[in-house]
Amino acid sequence: MSDKRFNRRNFLKIMGAAGVATGAGVMMPKEVLLARAEKSGKGRQRYEVKPGELDDYYGFWSGGHSGEIRIIGVPSMREIKRIPVFNWDVGTGWGITNESKKLLRGRNFGDTHHVHGSYKNGTYDGKWLFVNDKLNNRVARIRIDYMEVDAIVDVPNIQGAHGLFPQRYPKTEWVVLNSEFQTPVPNDASNKKAFLNPQEYYGMHTIIDAERMSIVCQVMVDENCDLAATDYKGKYSMCTSYNIEKGVTISEMLASDYDYLIIFHWGRIRDALRKGKYKRVNGVKVIDGRKGHSDITLRIPVPKNPHGVNISPDGRYAVCCGKVSPTVTVVDLEKVDLAFEGKIKPEDCIVAQPYIGLGPLHTTFDGRGNAITSVFIDSTNVKWNIAKAIEAEKKGPEEKKKNPHIVDVLDIHYQVGHIMATMAETKEADGKWLISLNKVSKDRFLNAGPFKVENDQLVDISGEKLRLVHDSPAYIEPHDCIMVRRDIIEPKVKHRHEMFEHPLAVTKNSVERKGNKVIIRMTANAPVFGLQEVRVKKGDKVTLIVTNHDEIIDLTNGVAISNYNINFVIAPFQTKSVTFTADKPGVFWIYCTNFCHALHLEMRMRLIVEA
């Protein structure tokens, strides 16, 4: 606990140095808020999933700098599978086979933060997942039927590809992606002045075509673009910005008392595209969305260096977390319509700014009018009522001081980043479970060395009070997750590949030579490979194509070549290929790595490389 105090003190020091008012007047010590939490009215859901039972929700977790996505069963918190996305994964051959290399294009690391599903009419349609790569500025699409990546798009003109959100209504045609780091545009050192002058660095709100996985356009702004959201009407997307100062150091980024929630008007973006109001930078249509240059963007001032923006499931409110301000800012999206028409000022869209705690980062919803916000410095989950916050704001400062909006405060362990409730990013938010993605686990697990894992805590939110039910270690470093009802996903997920979806699917075993190129086409059917030996010459360029012909569910074969650093698996009816140079002469066993049969160990063949 002393560490937590240290953090709190440090944080206050930074804020003091930056001259930040810490919500004086409405601020309450965490202990006072916690004392309000009674013991009654807690959720009583069963979270144990017994052997043979299945979970109620598919959880999709980002893997942070591991570059992957994980599938976790909720409420059991059992990790079911990892989907390699931007990373190497020998277990599936991702990053090694020709199929994965074609998508990764030589970059085998990534930094995934925000996984979201494709939508139809405000809820998940079970078709795709999308995830950002903050490291190499890409977006990957995962097809849910196979739970595999099927497209990756590179995004030029940006760095720090961060907040990502799909269109929610009427369906996902666009996906928006924010760039957290401002850069010169174009960023190639050609313009010497812009290159060295941070005042000429820009942020981008990129729009991606979900079907084609190509870039529709980018809207350029002065500010940085951090977290992203889309509304439930298909009218707006948005970003929080914490660096309207265009600072390049912490103190510069903290100079202003407020930053922005920037709202992007999709109708006006379509207009600009139609009328050709853009310039091309690195082949991408860039629309000017800077303040004073454009009616496409609306800036709502939000204190201070805000982080998450989340939309309430009724579609009415955007909730921005203050991060350096202990408040959240509630924006009424119906008023945003009026502000875009110039009938009211942007700041008049704010309907409440309740006190939450020190370091609010992200907000989620229970579908019953309550929001739950993650509070990093206080290490709490704070449940609060949106309507009560708005009402108190109307009544004035005396009422606000009583913090009538606070419903419950839960101590978590420790330092929470994202928070997410089941189905909370849809109109079907069901208020069953919540995950607190804590950045720090400290003493919650057996000590396994100085590098500690994260702690994902499961909270029952079905009652009035929040009930912590389970600690779950998470390998580095989930940032965000979604939890989707099983009935939406399960019917869409296949047990086998469509064999002929892969243009190279093998039905007949053969070895074909053209000059020094050798193509080996081979089937795998446990416990035998279709060929017993293959002879090539040293220096040959060998392509090995293998199709798994086993139709039995779960009968995966592995293909590994001794001393050739080749190792991948193929699921039933799947085809994978690999191309390599046979640069070492000798006898090399090709063997099955994935236990497939009582005679699995005998499932092997020789690659004979003649000198």
Q: Which residues of this protein are in contact with ligand CUK, per CB under 6 A?
A: 113-114, 162, 227, 307, 361-362, 417-418, 479-480
In the complex, minimum distance from the CB of residue 264 to ligand CUK, in angstroms, rounded to a whole number: 19
480 binds, among Ca ion, ligand CUK, none (CB under 5 to 8 A by kind): ligand CUK
Q: Which is nearer to ligand CUK, 238 or 272 (CB)?
A: 238
Tell which residue, 332, 329, 339, has the closest CA to residue 305: 329
Q: Which is nearer to Ca ion, 305 or 380 (CB)?
A: 305
SS3 382: strand
Q: Which is nearer to Ca ion, 179 or 305 (CB)?
A: 305
Q: How far is CA 290 from CA 237, 260, 293, 335, in A?
A: 16, 13, 5, 21
Q: Which is nearer to ligand CUK, 309 or 566 (CB)?
A: 309
In the complex, minimum distance from the CB of residue 572 to ligand CUK, in angstroms, rounded to a whole number: 36
113 binds, among ligand CUK, Ca ion, none (CB under 5 to 8 A by kind): ligand CUK
Distance, in Å, from the CA atom of 550 to the CA atom of 526, rounded to the nearest integer, reads 7
Two structure tokens written together for 454: 């994260």
In the complex, minimum distance from the CB of residue 50 to ligand CUK, in angstroms, rounded to a whole number: 33
Q: Which is nearer to ligand CUK, 160 or 234 (CB)?
A: 160
In the complex, minimum distance from the CB of residue 87 to ligand CUK, in angstroms, rounded to a whole number: 17
Positions 223 through 242 that interact with Ca ion (CB under 5 A) = 242
305 binds, among Ca ion, ligand CUK, none (CB under 5 to 8 A by kind): Ca ion
SS3 119: strand
Q: Residue 467 forms beta bridges with which residues?
A: 460
505 binds, among ligand CUK, Ca ion, none (CB under 5 to 8 A by kind): none
Dihedral, CA of residue 390, residue 396, residue 400 and residue 404, to nearest 10: -50
Tokens 């290159």 -> residue: 195
H or E stretch covering 413: none
Q: Which is nearer to ligand CUK, 114 or 400 (CB)?
A: 114
Q: Which is nearer to ligand CUK, 4 or 362 (CB)?
A: 362
Per-residue mark of binding to Ca ion, 247-276 (x: CB under 5 A)? ------x--x--x-----------------
Q: Which is nearer to Ca ion, 259 or 550 (CB)?
A: 259
Question: 72-76 long-range CB contacts below 8 Å, 24 or more apart?
Answer: 72/481, 73/49, 74/422, 74/433, 74/435, 74/458, 74/483, 75/45, 75/47, 75/49, 75/433, 75/458, 75/469, 75/470, 76/47, 76/48, 76/49
Q: Which is nearer to ligand CUK, 242 or 568 (CB)?
A: 242
Q: Which is nearer to ligand CUK, 418 or 549 (CB)?
A: 418
Q: What is the DSSP letter of 95?
A: T
Q: Which of 178, 179, 305, 457 binds Ca ion (CB under 5 A)?
A: 305
In the complex, minimum distance from the CB of residue 6 to ligand CUK, in angstroms, rounded to a whole number: 20
In the complex, minimum distance from the CB of residue 41 to ligand CUK, in angstroms, rounded to a whole number: 29
61 binds, among Ca ion, ligand CUK, none (CB under 5 to 8 A by kind): none
Tokens 């990756």 -> residue: 152
162 binds, among ligand CUK, Ca ion, none (CB under 5 to 8 A by kind): ligand CUK
Two structure tokens written together for 420: 């997410």
Positions 134 through 193 that interact with Ca ion (CB under 5 A) = none
Burial of 320 (0-12, 13-18, 19+ CB in 10 A): buried
Two structure tokens written together for 383: 């449940």
Strand order, beta sheet including 317-321: 309-311, 317-321, 328-332, 350-352
In the complex, minimum distance from the CB of residue 321 to ligand CUK, in angstroms, rounded to a whole number: 9
Distance, in Å, from the CA atom of 172 to the CA atom of 182, rounded to the nearest integer, reads 27
479 binds, among ligand CUK, Ca ion, none (CB under 5 to 8 A by kind): ligand CUK
In the complex, minimum distance from the CB of residue 478 to ligand CUK, in angstroms, rounded to a whole number: 9
In the complex, minimum distance from the CB of residue 375 to ligand CUK, in angstroms, rounded to a whole number: 12
**Between β-strands 604-610 and 586-591, what pairing exists: parallel, antiparallel or unpaired?**
antiparallel
H or E stretch covering 465: none
In the complex, minimum distance from the CB of residue 352 to ligand CUK, in angstroms, rounded to a whole number: 22
SS3 131: strand
Q: Which is nearer to ligand CUK, 359 or 558 (CB)?
A: 359
Does position 111 interact with Ca ion (CB under 5 A)? The reply is no
H or E stretch covering 333: helix 333-340
259 binds, among Ca ion, ligand CUK, none (CB under 5 to 8 A by kind): Ca ion
Total of chain residues touching Ca ion, rule CB under 5 A: 5
DSSP letters, 467-523, are: EEEEEEEE-S----EEEEEHHHHGGG--SS--GGGSTT--SS-EEEEETTEEEEEEE
In the complex, minimum distance from the CB of residue 162 to ligand CUK, in angstroms, rounded to a whole number: 6
590 binds, among Ca ion, ligand CUK, none (CB under 5 to 8 A by kind): none
Q: How far is CA 473 from CA 163, 458, 476, in A?
A: 25, 11, 10
* Residues making contact with Ca ion (CB under 5 A): 242, 253, 256, 259, 305
